[in-house]
């Protein structure tokens, strides 16, 4: 059954808590826009002028959302944004930027855990959509059902400590929209799966040689939660390069019932810039913003708390700060991870967009931007 298009929002009955937003930056027009929006939403807005002050204030205020003006990141010395992200708890940190904000600012934000971006001038509809998502009551965790066409697939990487393990295979799979469970031991994997009430769709196993991988797989098979779950042993490691990882994707896609080949995620490069998106089938699109983190010849990965649904036709406005150009292109949402408690899973908030109907000149321009190939 096809999923209806549109932005993913929780049912209205879940939006109960009064929103509280912490603004980190100067007391100018953007701050006033936030104040007006919060007043209309029945919430509270608070202002601090520095990242250090925000780090001290966040534990006391417990905001729903932290908005940081991009100039503070540009002027910061050291990982002040990372410290704020650590202390903000479950509250996401979003940058407020302009179309020509230097890419270095977004790169720093992405590396320090920023999960969204709002474009100036602030639009009330954008802030309202985020507040609706953030103030909703969390849904109870339930085992993943593998029947929905667009539902994310959960992959257990047994023997891996994180996205960069195994030559970066986990990071590659996250870029395909999959949800990952990393565990360096069998015991840890069992605990994580039980605590999160998660049933994986696939188990990937690697070890110090084929025999070690097979022994680990045999031990995992003894766990009831993994009964009937397909498994694949992979020979990857720190020295594995992108072509070797890319060769695994068709086998993994086949086991997961997915086709990520058209995204060309193995050719992705870091690519941080502001992005606006709206539904492609409507002339009166409600535009919202986010920021891209990776670009490939086949698509774009966009960080946002309010992605569109998978399968939705989308219009993109890609702002290139260096050249001050704006690329307008159509696409379709290949996968989406809206804001929700992660519950032990590893995945980025946002969406992967597959380019559609792009002419040769623009496609050549994007391919130039995608060189050289990123090392994973």
The domain defined by 154-257 folds into Rossmann fold (3.40.50)
| CA nearest neighbour of 374 among 174, 172, 170, 104 | 172
The DSSP H or E segment spanning 118 is strand 116-119
C-alpha torsion 180→181→186→192, nearest 10: -160
Alpha-carbon gap, residue 275 to 302, rounded angstroms? 8
Q: Which CATH architecture has domain 12-134?
A: 3-Layer(aba) Sandwich (3.40)
Whether pLDDT at 267 is above 90:
no
The domain defined by 265-369 folds into Thrombin, subunit H (2.40.10)
Going by C-beta distance under 8 Å and a sequence separation of 6 or more, which residues neighbour residue 49? 24, 25, 26, 27
List the Cα angle 289/95/34 in 5-degree steps. 80
Q: In this predicted model, what pLDDT tens digit does every residue of 295-346 receive, in sequence order? A: 888 889 999 999 999 999 999 999 988 888 898 999 999 999 999 888 888 9
For residue 106, what pLDDT is reported? 94
Of 84-88, 153-157, 231-235, 346-350, the poorest mean pLDDT is in: 231-235
Residues β-bridged to residue 336 = 351
**Which sequence spans correspond to the domains of the chain?**
12-134, 154-257, 265-369
DSSP H helices in 41-185 = 51-61, 70-75, 80-87, 103-111, 124-134, 169-175
- Asked if 12-134 and 265-369 have one fold, the answer is no
Task: Kindly report the pTM of this predicted structure.
Answer: 0.84
Query: Token pair for residue 191?
Result: 């605990």
Whether pLDDT at 74 is above 80:
yes
Going by C-beta distance under 8 Å and a sequence separation of 6 or more, which residues neighbour residue 27? 47, 49
Strands 231-233 and 202-205: parallel
Specify the DSSP class assigned to residue 245. Answer: H
pLDDT band at 130 (very low <50, low <70, confident <90, very high): very high
Specify the DSSP class assigned to residue 285. Answer: -
For residue 3, what pLDDT is reported? 37
The overall longest dimension of the chain from CA atoms, in Å, is 63
Alpha-carbon gap, residue 151 to 19, rounded angstroms? 29
Residues β-bridged to residue 289 = 276
The string of DSSP codes covering 170-202 is HHHHHHTT-EEEEESSHHHHHHHHHHHT---SE
Higher pLDDT, 356 or 235: 356
């Amino acid at each position: 059954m096809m999923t209806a298009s549109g932005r993913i929002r929780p049912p209205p009955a879940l939006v109960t808590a009064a929103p509280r937003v912490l603004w980190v930056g100067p007391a100018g027009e953007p701050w006033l826009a936030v104040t007006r929006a919060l007043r209309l939403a029945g919430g509270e807005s608070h202002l601090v002028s520095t990242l250090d002050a925000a780090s001290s204030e966040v534990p006391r205020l417990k905001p729903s959302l932290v908005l940081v003006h991009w100039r503070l990141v540009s002027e910061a010395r050291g990982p002040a944004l990372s410290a704020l992200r650590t202390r903000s708890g479950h509250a996401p940190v979003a940058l407020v930027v302009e179309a020509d904000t230097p890419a270095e600012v977004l790169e720093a934000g992405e590396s320090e855990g920023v999960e969204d971006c709002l474009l100036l001038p602030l639009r009330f509809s954008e802030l309202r959509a985020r507040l609706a998502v953030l103030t909703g009551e969390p849904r109870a965790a339930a085992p993943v059902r593998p029947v929905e066409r667009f539902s994310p697939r959960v992959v257990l990487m047994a023997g891996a400590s994180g996205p960069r393990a195994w030559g970066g295979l986990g990071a590659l799979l996250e870029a395909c929209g999959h949800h990952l469970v990393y565990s360096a031991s069998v015991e840890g994997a069992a605990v994580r799966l039980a605590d999160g009430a998660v049933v994986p769709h696939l188990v990937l196993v690697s070890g110090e040689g084929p025999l070690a991988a097979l022994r680990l797989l045999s031990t995992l098979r003894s766990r009831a939660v993994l009964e009937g779950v397909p498994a694949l042993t992979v020979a990857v490691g720190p020295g594995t390069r992108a072509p070797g990882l890319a060769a695994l994707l068709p086998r993994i896609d086949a086991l997961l019932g997915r086709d990520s080949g058209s995204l060309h995620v193995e050719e992705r490069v870091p690519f941080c810039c502001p992005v606006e998106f709206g539904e492609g089938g409507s002339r009166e699109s409600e535009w919202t913003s986010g920021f891209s983190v990776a670009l490939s010849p086949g698509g774009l990965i966009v960080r946002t708390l309010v992605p569109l649904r998978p399968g939705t036709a989308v219009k993109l406005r890609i702002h290139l700060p260096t050249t001050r150009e704006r690329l307008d292109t159509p696409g379709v949402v290949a996968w989406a991870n809206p804001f929700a408690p992660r519950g032990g899973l590893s995945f980025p908030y946002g969406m992967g967009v597959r380019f559609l109907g792009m002419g040769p000149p623009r496609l050549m321009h994007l391919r130039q931007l995608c060189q050289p190939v990123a090392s994973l």
